[in-house]
Amino acid sequence: MTDHRRAQRGNVAGKMLLALIILAAFWGLFYWDLNIRDAGGDASDAVTDEEPGEDAPADDPDDDEPETPDEAPDDAPADVTDETGAVFSYLPVGDLLPESGPGFADDTVYRDILFPTAGRAYLNSQVYRYGGYYGALNGMEGGQCEAQNYEYPWQDTFCEKRSRDQDLCPGGGHEGLDIRPADCTKNAHLAVAAEDARVVDVRRHWVTLQTNDGTLYNYLHLNMGALNVSLGDYVSKGDPIGVISNDFYKSDGTSVPTTIHLHFEMYENYVTDGDDEPLFTKVNPYLTLVAAYDRKLRDE
């Protein structure tokens, strides 16, 4: 091969190399552009932000689906756990135990309250579960200290079947919610003020608080011989009211102890129909308490 031909070949090779470099540069730009677009947000952003064109068929959004479409969105609240590591869960409002009454599915969170007991708490039936008079109806035979009474999920007990009348419970029902403390120990767990309030009544096994704007809270079954408050006291949110016990006195003063729990009631102005006069009555505080407990576990 002559030097001339070698030079010619070198020339051709150089031109091919240059062409390859230019091609590679175009490909590089193309992919860089795609990557910038994809990195611009999550998959749903990519669908809406993408300009329609050959590279991003707007008529075929399936192409832009995330690889794991069932994954929870990033802003979904994470599970919250108590200090034992147990994940807090609760059954829907109005979802009562079988045989225990109709319930009342009120989905209102009435007020931003502090959860009314210190420590862990378990909302469930005192009458239709272990240790309750009608526990056997649901195959829950045993004492009130059974471990299953101290587990999540919570269960609503508002309008649980009783002989008493109540405005929102047709045929009579339980006009509050029952809260078991962290464990089955009497006189060991504090009940605390849900809001800044005044102690407006102390009688039998009741302590009643009232806020400035009228909301009433009843705390029942505290140890009435060792309350932290007296009639007329002003309390701040979080102040101790007393210890959770099983005090229950009939109107003639006879003591008939109940299970160890706080029965918690809340009175609000409630309207069943837009045209009705507001009814100042006991309302179902279930979701108000769920929200308060969730905040408590998150230290908010």
Residues in the chain: 300
In the complex, least distance from residue 198 CB atom to Zn ion, rounded to whole angstroms: 23
Buried/exposed 1-12: b ≥16 CB within 10 Å, e otherwise: eeeeeeeeeeee
Site string for Zn ion, 124-163 (x = CB under 5 A): ----------------------------------------
In the complex, least distance from residue 225 CB atom to Zn ion, rounded to whole angstroms: 21
Task: Give whichever of 46 and 266 is closer to Zn ion, judged by the CB atom.
Answer: 266
Describe the chain by its helix, strand, coil percentages, rounded to 5: 25, 20, 55
In the complex, least distance from residue 70 CB atom to Zn ion, rounded to whole angstroms: 40
Please tell me the count of residues contacting Zn ion according to CB under 5 A: 2
For position 263 contacting Zn ion by CB under 5 A, the verdict is yes
In the complex, least distance from residue 268 CB atom to Zn ion, rounded to whole angstroms: 18
The residue number with the shortest CB distance to Zn ion is 263
Cα separations in angstroms, 207 against 34, 69, 170: 67, 52, 26
In the complex, least distance from residue 46 CB atom to Zn ion, rounded to whole angstroms: 53
- Interaction with Zn ion in 178-207: which residues (CB under 5 A)? 178
Task: Give whichever of 46 and 121 is closer to Zn ion, judged by the CB atom.
Answer: 121
Stretch that binds Zn ion, among 42-50, 66-74, 192-200, 255-263 (CB under 5 A): 255-263
> How many other C-beta atoms are found inside a 10 Å radius of the C-beta of residue 300?
6
Task: Give whichever of 162 and 198 is closer to Zn ion, judged by the CB atom.
Answer: 162
Query: What are 5's strand-pairing partners?
Result: none
First-residue to last-residue Cα distance in the chain = 85
> How many other C-beta atoms are found inside a 10 Å radius of the C-beta of residue 212?
9
Query: What are 279's strand-pairing partners?
Result: 270
State the DSSP H helix or E strand holding residue 206, giving kind and residue range, or none if neither: strand 206-210
Return the half-sphere exposure (C-beta side, CA atoms, 13 A cut-off) of residue 193: 22
Amino acid, res. 291: A
Stretch that binds Zn ion, among 209-217, 239-247, 257-265, 289-297 (CB under 5 A): 257-265
State the DSSP H helix or E strand holding residue 180, giving kind and residue range, or none if neither: strand 177-180
In the complex, least distance from residue 157 CB atom to Zn ion, rounded to whole angstroms: 7
Stretch that binds Zn ion, among 74-82, 241-249, 261-269, 281-289 (CB under 5 A): 261-269
Q: How far is CA 234 from the centre of its chain?
A: 29
For position 265 contacting Zn ion by CB under 5 A, the verdict is no
In the complex, least distance from residue 56 CB atom to Zn ion, rounded to whole angstroms: 60
Site residues for Zn ion per CB under 5 A: 178, 263
